[in-house]
Amino acid sequence: MAEGEGPARYDPEAVEAKWQRRWAERHAFAARVEPGRRPYYVLEMFPYPSGDIHMGHVRNYSIGDVIARQRRMQGDSVLHPIGWDAFGLPAENAAIQNGQPPAIWTRGNIDRMRAQFKRLGISYDWDRELATCEPRYYRWEQLFFLRMLARDLAYKKLSLVNWCPHCATVLANEQVEEGRCWRCESEVTERELEQWFFRITAYADELLRDLDRLSGWPERVRTMQRNWIGRSVGAEIRFPLEGRDERLAVFTTRPDTLFGVTFMSLAPEHPLVPALVAGTPAERAVAELAARVRATRSGGKEGVPTGAFCRHPFTGARIPIWVANFVLMEYGTGAIMAVPAHDQRDFELARAHGLPIRVVVQPEGERLDPDHMEAAWEGPGRLVDSGEFTGLESEVAKERIAAALAAGGQGGPTVSYRLRDWGVSRQRYWGAPIPIVYCDACGMVPVPESDLPVVLPEDVALTGTGGSPLAAHAAFVNTRCPRCGGPARRETDTLDTFVDSSWYFARYLAPRDDATVPFDAREVGYWLGEGGVHRYIGGIEHAVLHLLYARFLTKVLRDLGFLPLDEPFQNLLTQGMVIKDGAKMSKSKGNVVDPDYLIERYGADTARLFSLFAAPPEKDLEWSDQGVEGMSRFLHRLWRLVHGIGPRLAPPGAAVPASPGGVDLELHRLTHRTIARVTVDVVERLHFNTAIAAVMELVTGIADAAPKAAPAVVREAVDTTLRLLAPFVPHVASELWEASGHTAPLDAERWPVADPAALVREVVEMPVQVNGRLRGRVTVPADASEADVVAAALADPQVQAHVGGRALRKRVVVRGRLVSLVV
């Protein structure tokens, strides 16, 4: 049937509007606890409401929707919610630019994006929608904060922090990339500020250990988190300081090299440094080094002596103390014992300044000579010149020496982490207020839980200058001390938005009345009780930041008694980026494809289908305008097939003949083979591209067979096609389902199950190899014996020609697969 002929023309806009309306009317995707059914919680990382969706969103949410819709058809009780990560800096920047308050700007964006998501036909339970900027959301976050404070899991301290001058705020370590702000790429500087922290380091071990149990996460993400946590086993060693009643503590992973120490190196910011050099000739040189380090964190090894000394814990030898540019205050104790013979950095510094090099570990079959070494030996070996430990293997010596230190009260075995506590204060307006009050009389006072929420005022003027507008908002700042009733001021820092996104997955399970607890225990038990969200989907860029914070906060909420959960996300799917012309789509590169335009021109189903077909989810997806055309063509072809099939299609429910033959059998088999393939691809492998390819083959098969096949067999094939396509292109599949005579909606249908009888073949075609090369093929009964198969193979003229009457040295028959003959 030609296009443009009346009602049979596929008009995506009309079809999609119709079905979206019906789904909304029926609340078709409302999630309910149904004890008889398997729970399934599928979640995509919620978006920041920037105002417009981009192709990355289309991809992310299409992937989630396929899973959600397929699981529903499979009979699971599916929870598939959506919300908005609504706090954050862009709202403030927009407010400064166009004078619109962040709250108005944000809510307007949410409205626009919600409409776009609805136009995509994503099957969300819209009744559970949330936004982190609403007081009914962040009041619970404030409660968590207070409980964490009471448990010393939140604390405030003066600290050197990362400061972005452009964003005028503090950044977490995780938000600094190559010395630059993760958002605006400004050079990050250091500042000393009173800051709030979450004690994530208290969970370092558990966060690391539980990674081993997250078998449903990509290895890549687990490795990244492991490296980020950075656990090192070693020893702390305390060196007595000469002339002071104090000890200098260092961390080392190589206590076995203790006898090779020839000097100490301190970080320039080490708190002991000023005391050591004050009023000495070294003071100036140390200050200069510190200044240089502040300016540039890279370069060669530099160091200056402080003139101070400490003593070796075992030998009592005098050891000079240096300050070195490469020693990091943030790691270990900010001080190291320098062993030039066995650490390359110490080696370089020692060589530059003529400091002694003392070999204490000799590698197997070699004899290191300090005068002729070109590099430090960092490998294992046997200890020499190490007192009572001489002769030990270095691995053994590590333990012995650490134990000896512990026995002498001079240190002992310890574990060090790279992970730092999470700085959560932000000197910004558009975030959740930290529920703290400062009273002149009582000092820092937590807001009583009964006074929550501390509501963020929305009537603020943002000028972009003069710090946080909260500080200038008298009605917010000025308050009464909850303890003494006297005048007090509120904390004007707000919480990092990553705090908001660390627990939202659980908030979709909010109780209906919302009065006393943040989560509905029954719903939590049902949808999260099997070990967290069943399938979480989002970009790899959150591998450390969001995913580590969410794991941490989940464990905190568990320990606070809010969630019975060790981990938030059982299975993680990290989807790749959408690329065009080899680069990530971005406004600055001018290679952005607007999903709205795509939907207008081709329809949401085409947009979805392309983003699912062009690449498997975890790979980057190269954009192709022609590829989109191809998907559109396929849907038009499907439309014409179903509408043009006429009397060749039996009414719904028609029974397939008990033992079909010929074309009927072939189509019947193809149908069931496709069911099997698509089910594995969608449910187990999450390879939607090959699932769609399989359905395309079935559609081609139907088009070929329809004129000859029995109408009941065609009906089975068509119905199967539409069922299998329902998760991918729900609108057009629903419309064709209805147009072909069904009255019940497709989304309430069951996922098809392959009939094993239709999957077995009576005859199989097998390729035949002679001496490892393909020489022919034979068709034999599927249950033929090995001898029969070989006989059949030898009967093939091609095979015969290559065997040439020679005796068979070996024969391999792989059932249904192949015959291999060796002569």
Partner RNA sequence: GCGAGAGUGGCGGAACUGGCAGACGCACGAGACUUAGGAUCUCGCGGGCAACCGUGGGGGUUCGAGUCCCCCCUCUCGCACCA
364 to 423, contacts with RNA by CB under 7 A? 416, 418
3-state secondary structure of 781: strand
Query: Does residue 187 touch RNA according to CB under 7 A?
Result: no
Query: Does residue 698 touch RNA according to CB under 7 A?
Result: no
Cα separation of 556 and 565, whole Å?
10
- Angle (CA) 42 44 46, round 5°: 135
In the region spanning residues 636 to 665, those forming contacts with RNA, defined by CB under 7 A, are 636-637
Q: Of the candidates 771, 782, 788, 808, which one interacts with RNA according to CB under 7 A?
A: 771
The answer to whether 726 and 69 have CB atoms below 8 angstroms apart is: yes
Best CA proximity match to 361, nearest among 374, 348, 342, 338: 342
Q: Of the candidates 327, 341, 675, 725, which one interacts with RNA according to CB under 7 A?
A: 327
Nearer to RNA, 419 or 509 (CB): 419
What is the β-pairing status of strands 436-439 and 443-446? antiparallel
Nearer to RNA, 436 or 615 (CB): 615
Q: Of the candidates 135, 370, 457, 616, which one interacts with RNA according to CB under 7 A?
A: 616
Cα separation of 247 and 268, whole Å?
18
Q: Of the candidates 195, 468, 502, 820, which one interacts with RNA according to CB under 7 A?
A: 820
- Give burial (CB, 10 Å; 0-12/13-18/19+) of 286: buried
Stretch that binds RNA, among 127-135, 248-256, 454-462, 587-595 (CB under 7 A): 248-256
What is the β-pairing status of strands 176-177 and 494-495? unpaired
Query: Does residue 794 touch RNA according to CB under 7 A?
Result: no
Nearer to RNA, 336 or 650 (CB): 336
Nearer to RNA, 304 or 615 (CB): 615
- Angle (CA) 24 28 30, round 5°: 105
Q: Of the candidates 38, 213, 220, 708, which one interacts with RNA according to CB under 7 A?
A: 220
Query: Does residue 540 touch RNA according to CB under 7 A?
Result: yes
Query: Does residue 687 touch RNA according to CB under 7 A?
Result: yes
Query: Does residue 219 touch RNA according to CB under 7 A?
Result: yes
Nearer to RNA, 203 or 251 (CB): 251
Query: Does residue 343 touch RNA according to CB under 7 A?
Result: yes
Q: Of the candidates 627, 652, 711, 745, which one interacts with RNA according to CB under 7 A?
A: 627
In the complex, least distance from residue 282 CB atom to RNA, rounded to whole angstroms: 20
Query: Cα–chain-centroid distance for residue 226?
Result: 13
Q: Of the candidates 39, 234, 303, 538, which one interacts with RNA according to CB under 7 A?
A: 234
Query: Does residue 264 touch RNA according to CB under 7 A?
Result: no
What is the β-pairing status of strands 382-383 and 361-362? antiparallel
Best CA proximity match to 427, nearest among 492, 488, 490: 492
In the complex, least distance from residue 504 CB atom to RNA, rounded to whole angstroms: 23
Nearer to RNA, 133 or 635 (CB): 635
Number of residues that bind RNA (CB under 7 A): 82
Q: Is the sign of the CA dihedral 637, 638, 642, 648 positive or negative? A: positive
Stretch that binds RNA, among 15-23, 57-65, 552-560, 628-636 (CB under 7 A): 628-636
The answer to whether 731 and 753 have CB atoms below 8 angstroms apart is: no
String of contacts with RNA for each residue 584-613, x by CB under 7 A? -----------------------------x
Nearer to RNA, 379 or 661 (CB): 379
What tokens does 185 get?
A: 């790429």
What are φ and ψ of residue 288, in 5° steps? Answer: -65, -40
H or E segment and range at residue 810: strand 810-814
Other beta carbons within 10 angstroms of residue 296's beta carbon come to: 9
Query: Does residue 428 touch RNA according to CB under 7 A?
Result: no
Kindly give the residue spans of alpha helices, DSSP state H, lying in 680-785: 688-705, 711-725, 730-739, 756-759
- Strand ranges in 54-172 using DSSP code E only, listed in sequence order: 77-79, 83-84, 130-131, 154-164, 169-171
Nearer to RNA, 389 or 613 (CB): 613
In the complex, least distance from residue 780 CB atom to RNA, rounded to whole angstroms: 13
Query: Does residue 110 touch RNA according to CB under 7 A?
Result: no
Q: Of the candidates 190, 697, 786, 788, which one interacts with RNA according to CB under 7 A?
A: 697
Q: Of the candidates 106, 123, 142, 325, which one interacts with RNA according to CB under 7 A?
A: 325
Position 400: which residue type? R
String of contacts with RNA for each residue 290-319, x by CB under 7 A? -------xxx-x------------------
Query: Does residue 789 touch RNA according to CB under 7 A?
Result: no
Cα separation of 43 and 66, whole Å?
12
Stretch that binds RNA, among 463-471, 480-488, 547-555, 630-638 (CB under 7 A): 630-638
Four-point Cα dihedral 547, 552, 558, 560, nearest 10: -140
In the complex, least distance from residue 421 CB atom to RNA, rounded to whole angstroms: 14
Nearer to RNA, 518 or 617 (CB): 617
Nearer to RNA, 87 or 417 (CB): 417
**Integer-rounded Cα radius of gyration of the chain:** 34
Nearer to RNA, 127 or 187 (CB): 187
- Strand ranges in 284-332 using DSSP code E only, listed in sequence order: 303-311, 318-324
Cα separation of 538 and 467, whole Å?
34
Query: Does residue 774 touch RNA according to CB under 7 A?
Result: yes
What tokens does 116 get?
A: 């776009």
What tokens does 289 get?
A: 């080094």
What are φ and ψ of residue 389, in 5° steps? Answer: -95, -5
Query: Does residue 43 touch RNA according to CB under 7 A?
Result: no
